[in-house]
A = this chain, B = another copy of it.
Amino acid sequence: MSPINLAIVGVGKIVRDQHLPSIANNPDFKLVATASRHGTVEGIPAFTTIEAMLDAVPAIDAVSLCMPPQYRYEAAYKALSAGKHVFLEKPPGATLSEVADLENLAKTKGVSLFASWHSRYAPAVEAAKAFLADTTIRSVHVIWKEDVRHWHPNQEWIWQAGGLGVFDPGINALSIVTHIFPALFLTGATLEFPENRDSPIAADLHFRSGQGLPVHAEFDWRQTGKQSWDIVAETDAGQMVLSEGGSKLSVNGELTFSAPEAEYPSLYRRFAEIVKAGVSDVDVSPLRHVADAFMLGKRKFVEAFHD
């Protein structure tokens, strides 16, 4: 099979850091065009709009959409309508309804849609899942606490309504949680909004499963010093800690699995796989939990946040 002719829309930091090296090292893909208002990739035909790109390069088979979620639907609709496979950066959209619509469109057009969740491909996630499958889980504690000033300096869009605030990193935790634990739903939530912002800076979430497994998640963007991206499960086989955003697995304090980070290479392997199989991979459950938290959550107002 000849490589999949791929185009990228929205050439920014994540594309340069992650997408381009992953594509370059994957023989299943050949980068043939980009569309971006400002960014370009050396040696690759560049356009400023997706329409111009799709018109000029009919050989495009698939498109990776890497712009902020607020602008993603429009581009995805055009690409799918033109019969192209589509890779969506996380989160797959600004609303659940638009993702449902795109999923139907992909089905109608007979192309593959991929709602990517990079944290699911963190090195130790599958090892954690395998460990949990062989034991009984008693409770889960998710701690996702980082310094927004370090990770998102002066990013205005993330604080606007629809920008998701602390759920932007928190959804990474939820993408792992929904992959390794039984189906959960929210039973209560408190969202803390800085009094000068439209998105939350912290969230405290209580979930349970149908069988009653309690899961407590704490997301906070005000953490200075050591950053925490940990999932702790108390089980009949001991305490499991999946730490550093899914990179390391420990059981009862002993490191049992660790491997080099390779999230984006894995995402592109998965994308090639679903394109070849002629299927889509759209799991909205992480975004659905976020929407549920906004719908069900109690709002609390806290100190103003200034970058």
Please give, as numbers and ranges, the residues of chain B lying within 8 Å of A297 by CB-CB distance. 161
Cross-chain contact A97 with B289 (CB below 8 angstroms): yes
What residues of chain B lie closer than 8 Å to A105, measured between beta carbons? 210
Give the distance to chain B from A125, nearest Cβ to Cβ, in Å.
20
* In the complex with contacts A210-B77, A210-B101, A294-B294, A186-B299 CB distance below 8 A: no
Contact of A295 among B95, B101, B285 (CB under 8 A): B95
| A234 is an interface residue with CB less than 8 A from chain B | no
Complex CA–CA separation, A71 to B306 (angstroms):
40
Residue with the greatest number of chain B CB neighbours at <10 A, chosen from A100, A285, A288, A298 = A288
Interface residues in A198-238 by Cβ distance below 8 A to B read: 198, 210
Is the CB–CB distance between B298 and A198 below 8 Å? yes
Would you call A97 and B292 a contact (CB within 8 A)? yes
Q: Is B96 touching A292 in the complex (CB atoms < 8 A)?
A: yes
Which residues of A215-274 are within 8 A (CB) of B?
A: none
With A73-B185, A77-B210 as given contacts, are A298 and B161 in contact (CB-CB < 8 Å)? yes
CA distance A248 to B162 in the complex (A): 36
Closest approach, in angstroms, between the C-beta of A100 and any C-beta of chain B? 7
Q: Mark interface residues in A186-198 (1 if CB within 8 Å of B CB, else 0).
A: 1001000100001
Cα-based distance from A97 to B292 in the complex (angstroms): 7
Contact of A291 (CB < 8 Å), options: B77, B161, B189, B295:
B295
Extra 16 A-B pairs, beta carbons < 8 Å, given A97-B184, A295-B295: A94-B296, A95-B185, A95-B186, A95-B292, A96-B288, A97-B185, A97-B289, A97-B292, A100-B183, A105-B210, A161-B298, A161-B299, A164-B295, A193-B299, A198-B298, A294-B295
Q: List 14 A-B contacts (CB under 8 A).
A: A94-B296, A95-B186, A95-B295, A95-B296, A96-B288, A97-B186, A98-B185, A100-B288, A161-B189, A161-B299, A164-B295, A198-B299, A291-B292, A291-B295
